[in-house]
Structure 1
Amino acid sequence: MAKPRENLPGNSGHMHVSLCDPDTNQNLFARSEPDPNAPYEDIKHLSDLGRHFLAGLIEGLPDVMPIFAPTINSYKRLVENFWAPVTVSWGLEHRAASIRLIAPPTASPKSTRFEVRVPGADTNPYLVLATILALGWRGVEKKLEIPIPPLGKGEDVGGASDKGVRLAKSLREATEKFKSKDSIAREVFGDDFVDHFAGTREHELRLWDEAVTDW
């Protein structure tokens, strides 16, 4: 369950991901030498492939929320001031951002990876990992550029310095964006999967609308 108690932070299902060369076992997100001309200090040690992968995650994140937050309860966790990310955001070792970059100088090159912090404990981890890889690889194939600056140290999501869009506040809002005709989810997964998965979430919404709760 993502949020069992209303006055405490919820239960996360953060996913860590890296890519390695199968022949050399080299971490493909790591840069052999620091980039003196990096657009942001945070990605000084991140490879070009890693930057494109990150850009793909950033661009696609709002469109795949029903996979990262699949239940009514998921969105009780994704609220401000409870250690959960609520906007599209990223940063080096930033534990408030939706995507935390782990890389030198705070980690070894072989440990370079992304921690996607949006998913909660109620997700299907296989679908979450497949989604991360699909979005990241779309960024690599399209050579996408990182569209927003990183969160700085001490900066929280939702603040004046946070340029990221607000993630869906409900399963209904998330599902509408997920199934829209121009959704990135449709681009990476195809119509059959999106229509089916959206249908399962709409079924849950119908059951919720009919439920008589303690509230």
Structure 2
Amino acid sequence: MAARGVVAVALTWVDNAGLTRVKGVPLGRLPRAVIHGVGASPSFDTFLIDDSSVVARYAGGPVGDLRLRPDLRRLTRLCAQPGWAWAPVDRYALTGRPHPQDARAFARAQAERLGRRGLHALAGFEIEWTVSPAGSDDFTAACSGPAYGMTRVVELSDYLRDLVEALTAQEVELLQIHPEYAAGQFEVSVAPEDPVGAADTSVLVRQTVRGVAARHGLRVSFAPQVLAGSVGNGGHLHLSLHGSVPGGGPLMAGGSGPFGLTAGGEAFVAGVLRHLPALMALGAPSVTSYLRLVPSNWAGAYACWGLENREAAIRMITGAAGEPGAANVEVKCFDLAANPYLLVGGVLAAGIDGLSAAAALPEPFDADPASCTSAELARLGVRRLPADLGEAVAAFGADEVLRAALGVELHDTIGAVRRGEIELFAGLDPGVVVDRVRWRY
């Protein structure tokens, strides 16, 4: 790294409010950090989006310390920040034991639970963001072209070229980059990888998008909504299930279930669908998440699933002919306010519960649920997902499967942070809330 000009390493973790926090070390101190860690207060577990904090039953207050240990397998030179490298960390207690409220350790533990069943998951996040000229806290789209239009690529050609170059140099396998629907909005899709790796990559991609933008005089937001009443930024999760034993193969293709799902693939997806209201507290954790999550907006506002149905919360994707391994599900109701480690771990825990119960999926839905009457939806068992963060927190608090997977301490602290943010923004006009959140993500 030194030969490539690196002088410092950003060691990052993501807090329960979904913000990426950092401690930096000089490159020469990195070997010591790997062995002994870098000190950080556990109080970050109770930080809210505005950097205020709550006191939870098992976290908060001035007492205590943790050690941050970087994972050198993900050590990456940051092309948009000359002289800097990056690595995600695992957080440990001073005793050397893993911190019971470490989100990355939680995601890893759920992947290991799946592994003990002879299975593994591949995951990848879609990352949407909006671009504005730097220098103002207001949002003004940095390009004027139409949704999905080539005009936007022309107008921001240099920025997008440098972004692709940076991601490629950082060994991020980029699948697509394109304009999205909202004004000044773009999206990248990356190749699937192991669940913890997918969460790591989500963090790295976002910081790269931000870093390249800054060098072009631009400012970016990944917030669920950047203008009140507008289409927001999503953070859809793609996930597939595979057998790890020889001859295992994909569980989301080649089976006798709906659209080729195997029995295991169906049970896993059914578990995710069953726990989706509670998962919203992990995957749509901001008050502004529910300004984005509106019907007929391709946000997946209803707890249902369907083949290539972009209004269903879970969209089944079979892949092109001859690509059975490409079959996956896209969970559309999540956004980038989420801590990606908590989110992917929670989804795995829900899917594992479905496997344990040999759960079955309801009938697939092939229409916009908002076009149906309440009676029709009730007959089909289709429910609206939580309409606000309070409803999501209530579902999360009642979900014993997620409580057991997260552990009592982490589950309690997440709930406390969510309730703190509800109180923080209570009674405010949506436009005011959007303004306050816009540049935090």
Number of the residue aligned with 2:387: 169
* C-alpha deviation, 1:150, in angstroms: 1.0
1:199 and 2:433 aligned: no
SS at match of 1:121: coil
1:144 and 2:352 aligned: no
Number of the residue aligned with 2:349: 134
**1: CA distance between counterparts of 2:369 and 2:343?**
22
Number of the residue aligned with 2:242: 20
Number of the residue aligned with 2:295: 80
* Count of residue pairs brought into register by the alignment: 203
Are the structure 2 counterparts of residues 183 and 62 from structure 1 closer, same or farther at C-alpha, using a change threshold of 3 Å?
farther
Conservation of the 8 A alpha-carbon contact between 1:14 and 1:116: yes
1:117 and 2:340 aligned: no
**Residue 29 (structure 1) aligned to one of 240, 244, 252:** 252
Number of the residue aligned with 1:96: 311
Conservation of the 8 A alpha-carbon contact between 2:301 and 2:311: no
Conservation of the 8 A alpha-carbon contact between 1:89 and 1:98: yes
- Amino acid aligned to 1:98: A
Number of the residue aligned with 1:157: 369
Choose 83-92 or 107-116, whichever is displaced more. 107-116
RMSD, aligned α-carbons: 2.4
* C-alpha deviation, 1:214, in angstroms: 4.5
Q: Runs of 4 or more off by more than 3 Å in structure 1?
A: 22-25, 104-107, 210-215
Conservation of the 8 A alpha-carbon contact between 1:9 and 1:83: no
- Amino acid aligned to 1:135: A
**1: CA distance between counterparts of 2:322 and 2:302?**
25
Choose 186-195 or 3-12, whichever is displaced more. 186-195
Conservation of the 8 A alpha-carbon contact between 2:259 and 2:318: no
SS at match of 1:99: strand
**1: CA distance between counterparts of 2:283 and 2:406?**
15
* C-alpha deviation, 1:178, in angstroms: 1.0
* C-alpha deviation, 1:139, in angstroms: 0.3
* C-alpha deviation, 1:205, in angstroms: 1.7
**2: CA distance between counterparts of 1:86 and 1:194?**
24
Number of the residue aligned with 1:208: 425
Conservation of the 8 A alpha-carbon contact between 2:296 and 2:370: no
Conservation of the 8 A alpha-carbon contact between 1:93 and 1:100: yes
Are the structure 2 counterparts of residues 156 and 210 from structure 1 closer, same or farther at C-alpha, using a change threshold of 3 Å?
closer
**2: CA distance between counterparts of 1:81 and 1:45?**
27
**1: CA distance between counterparts of 2:322 and 2:331?**
17
**1: CA distance between counterparts of 2:392 and 2:344?**
19
**2: CA distance between counterparts of 1:44 and 1:168?**
28
Question: What TM-score do you get using the length of structure 1 for normalisation?
Answer: 0.84
**2: CA distance between counterparts of 1:122 and 1:8?**
17
Are the structure 2 counterparts of residues 11 and 214 from structure 1 closer, same or farther at C-alpha, using a change threshold of 3 Å?
closer
1:47 and 2:270 aligned: no
Conservation of the 8 A alpha-carbon contact between 1:18 and 1:114: yes
Q: Which has the higher contact order (CA 8 A, sep 6+)?
A: 1
* C-alpha deviation, 1:211, in angstroms: 6.3
**1: CA distance between counterparts of 2:427 and 2:295?**
28
Are the structure 2 counterparts of residues 78 and 214 from structure 1 closer, same or farther at C-alpha, using a change threshold of 3 Å?
closer
**2: CA distance between counterparts of 1:211 and 1:149?**
40
From the two aligned structures, give the one with the greater strand fraction. Answer: 2
